[in-house]
């Protein structure tokens, strides 16, 4: 989490795991989502309703460089 705070300027994090198809699990092995959060972000529920337009390759470069 500290790396995402430093590299992305996130003010907080959500740690999420969907367990079972009724909970939204699509990849059936254990994995966790670490979601950076920002003060102007509407929250997790809104994230499933729309695309963010974020370039994930750019985020990857930002985190790893």
Ordered structural domains, the chain, with CATH: 2-64 (3.30.428.10)
Per-residue pLDDT reduced to its tens digit, 15-37? 888 889 898 888 888 888 888 88
Instruction: Report the C-alpha gap between 27 and 16 in whole angstroms.
Output: 14
pLDDT for the residue 50: 57
How sure is the predictor about 44, in pLDDT bands with cuts at 50, 70 and 90? low
49 has pLDDT over 60: no
């Amino acid at each position: 989490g500290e790396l995402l705070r430093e590299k992305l300027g996130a003010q907080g994090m959500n740690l999420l795991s969907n367990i079972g198809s009724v909970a939204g699990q699509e990849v059936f092995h254990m994995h966790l989502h670490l979601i950076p959060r920002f003060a102007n972000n509407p929250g997790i529920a809104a994230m499933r309703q729309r695309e963010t337009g974020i370039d994930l390759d750019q985020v990857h470069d930002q985190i790893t460089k």
